Structure 1
C-alpha cells in the first residue's frame, strides 16, 4: 500500500507538473498576446500621431497666412477709407450747405471777372444807383447798357 500511495503520489505529481507546465505556457502565451496587443496599439497611436502632425503644422501655417492676409486686407481697407473725400462723412444738410457756398463763390468770381470792364457811364455818386448798376460788357457781348442804353 505504501508503494501504491507513492505511485499515486508520483503519478499525481507528474500530472500536477504537466498541468502546471500547461498553465505556465498558457500564461506566457497570454502575456505574449498582451504584449503584442500593446505594441500594436502603440504602433497605431504612433501612426495616427504621424498622420496628425502634418495636419497640425498645416493648421499653424494656415493660421499664420490668414493673419498676414487679414493685416493686408485691413491696410487696404484703411487706405481705401483714407482716400474717400471728407464730405462723405458730413451730414447731408452740411454737404448741401457746402455746395451752396461753392456755388455762391463761383457766382461771385464770375461776376467779378465780367464786371471789370463794365460800363463806367452807369456809375454816379448816388448810393442808390450804385446798387442798381448792371453789367455792361461792351467788348464781349455787345449788350445794350440797361442804365444808359449805350452800346
Structure 2
C-alpha cells in the first residue's frame, strides 16, 4: 500500500495543534511513566519511551484519523480530542514535553548519538486519514530531542 502525503491548510494545521496539545496533567503523567521506566532499566531509546507512554494510555500507533478537523460550530472539542489518532499525537507530545523538562532540569542524560536510524529523533508524527485513497500528513510534535538512549542521572 502506498500512502500519499497531502498538504493541509494552515487553519487545519492550527486546529490540529489545538486538539493535540497535552494538558499539564498529561505531561506530568508521561513524566511519571518515563521516570518509572528509567528506574527499571539502565537506559531506553526515545522511540521506546514514547511508545510505552502511548500504550499505557491505550493509544497505539497506526490509528487512522476519521474526523473533520475544520473548526466548525457545533463540534465539541472533547469529542474530537478522544479520536484515537489525535489521542496518539497528544500523548507523543506529552512524552516529548516531559523528556524536554527532565533534560532541561538535568534529571536525565542522553547517550552518544546512535547509528541506528530508528533511534534518530523525528519531531513529526504521520497521521493516516481514512477514505478510499490512503492519505497522510505530518504533524509537528515539538522541538528535536537528542538522539540515542535516555537514562536517569
TM-score normalised to structure 2 length: 0.18
More helix by share: 1
**If you compute each CA radius of gyration, which structure gives the higher value, 1 or 2?**
1
Q: Identify the structure with bigger relative contact order (alpha carbons < 8 Å, sequence gap 6+).
A: 2
TM-score normalised to structure 1 length: 0.18
